[in-house]
A and B are shown apart, each in its own frame.
Chain A
Amino acid sequence: MTLDLARDIVDLTVEHLVLVGVSMAIAIAVAIPAGILLTRRAPLQRWVIGFANIMQTVPSLALFGFLIPLPFIGGIGKHTAIVALVLYALLPVLRNTLTGILGVDPAVRESAIAMGMTGRQLLFDVELPLAARTILAGVRVATVTTIGTATIAAAIGGGGLGVFIFRGLASVDSMLILAGAVPAALIALLADGGLGWVEKKFSPA
């Protein structure tokens, strides 16, 4: 029994990490380019940030529920869970990309342009390196939140450590709930510490 439980914990932890990893990879791949684009399109900022804000306010259980009837992205299973997790992770990364780049000292930006940098050089040699810390802080917040939210994925058959929690709730078994909650909390702490360390590697501007 305990051996079975241990093996289940390992399996579900791996599944949980995959859910979080895939969701974060997609969220980063979408939100950072979108944030960069928004710094060049000021009128769009309100709309996109507004959309991301609304996504953030939808209760997670409800969002997972809403997605089930949708074609393609919806249904039961991992992919629906990932869609929901991505929607949650977008905002912190997007907002920090935007504020990080817009926060670059205007004198530095003007110098870069006056030195004859192209738009691409300005972005990759000046704006992104100077915004890196802020962007990473957004990634860190999004990752930690996603690790927690991913436990709800089990409600729509997404798997992960939430399986223990829901099973424990159904059978009023606190040990089972802890078997899901403790590893999830540990992963969150580790991710927070690890990403925090990476963040500090980037010298403050």
Chain B
Amino acid sequence: MSPLVSFRNISYRVGGKDILRDFSLDIDAGETIVLLGRSGSGKTTALKMVNRLLRPSTGAVLVEGTTTTNWDPILLRRRIGYVIQEGGLFPHFTVEANVGLVPRLEARPPQEIHARVHALLEQVGLPPAQFAARYPRELSGGQRQRVGVARALAADPPLLLFDEPFGALDPVTRVELQRQFLELRRRLGKTAIFVTHDVREALLVATRIALLHNGRLAVLATPSEFLKAQGEEARAFLSCLDLTVTPP
């Protein structure tokens, strides 16, 4: 079976700076690949190439076997769910309108959209009777993020992209949403590419972890292999797990 997403010798240069260098990675259907790395490691850049928000300087990104530059970008993006920090919700749309956006763009029948939106809100733990008519500003950060996830799932895309989705949340809410992510994955079996700088989050949600360092792929491993990885950057990330807090 050919990979769902394939990065082939990607490089990305902007303003004389190499953000990504010779980056290659194949992602199979059903996987959750975590792109892990420090700020500026190129992980978000790689992610944005999948739905063609960015184009590689050299190399190619293939989605379902077709180079992104040969895809109609509108069609490509509607087949890919996208979740960013704080959800990136439309402030002038209600929760219902936010979640129903892509089906609406696809001109689905209104009753179908309504049913779909309500089912999704239920799935992400936001009772529609209580939340459908609210505006994003009337929600907490965690609730906004849940709406963002529901919106990404609305058109039932085979592939989901997550760009540090839980980065701005308090630790308790973050853990709740990570659990929900795992449960949704178990239930829906979607393929996901997940960007984070949090090694715990990576170990929790990933089927494979791709560690990026200065625009290069440093380690590609399953979470259990990753725990034993020897590279310097991998050790740097793993050392974050050793922190023990000693009360004064």
Contact = CB atoms under 8 A, between A and B. Distances in A.
Interface of A: 105, 107-108, 110-118, 121, 126, 129-130, 203, 205
Contact of A116 (B75, B88, B135): B75
B166 interface: no
Interface stretch (B59-67, B89-97, B230-238): B89-97
A110 B88 CA distance: 8
B92 A114 contact: no
Contacts of B102: 115-116
Given A116-B78, A129-B92, 7 more contacts: A105-B91, A114-B53, A115-B101, A115-B102, A116-B73, A116-B74, A117-B105
B41 to A, nearest CB: 20
A113 B226 CA distance: 35
A111 B93 CA distance: 13
A130 B84 contact: no
B152 to A, nearest CB: 9
B149 to A, nearest CB: 13
B82 interface: yes
B77 A116 contact: yes
A204 B102 CA distance: 24
Contacts, number: 53
Nearest to A121: B105
B90 A126 contact: yes
Q: Which of A110, A111, A116, A126 has the most CB of B within 10 A?
A: A116
A107 B88 CA distance: 5
B53 A108 contact: no
Taking chain B's interface residues, is the majority helix, strand, or loop, or is none over half, making it mixed? Answer: helix
A159 B243 CA distance: 80
Interface residues of B, number: 24
Nearest to A117: B105
A113 B77 contact: yes
B91 A205 contact: yes
Contact of B92 (A110, A111, A113, A203): A203
A117 B101 CA distance: 9
Contacts of A107: 84-86, 88
Contact of B77 (A105, A108, A115, A130): A115
B143 interface: no
A111 B105 CA distance: 14
A113 B101 CA distance: 12
Interface in B27-64: 51, 53
Contacts of A126: 90
A110 to B, nearest CB: 7
B232 to A, nearest CB: 33
Contacts of A205: 91-92
Contacts of A129: 92
A112 B151 CA distance: 12
B89 A115 contact: no
Contacts of A116: 73-78, 102, 105
The 4 A-B pairs of least Cβ separation, nearest first, read A111-B88, A116-B78, A116-B77, A114-B82
A118 B72 CA distance: 11
A131 to B, nearest CB: 10
Nearest to B72: A116
Nearest to A109: B88
A115 B84 contact: no
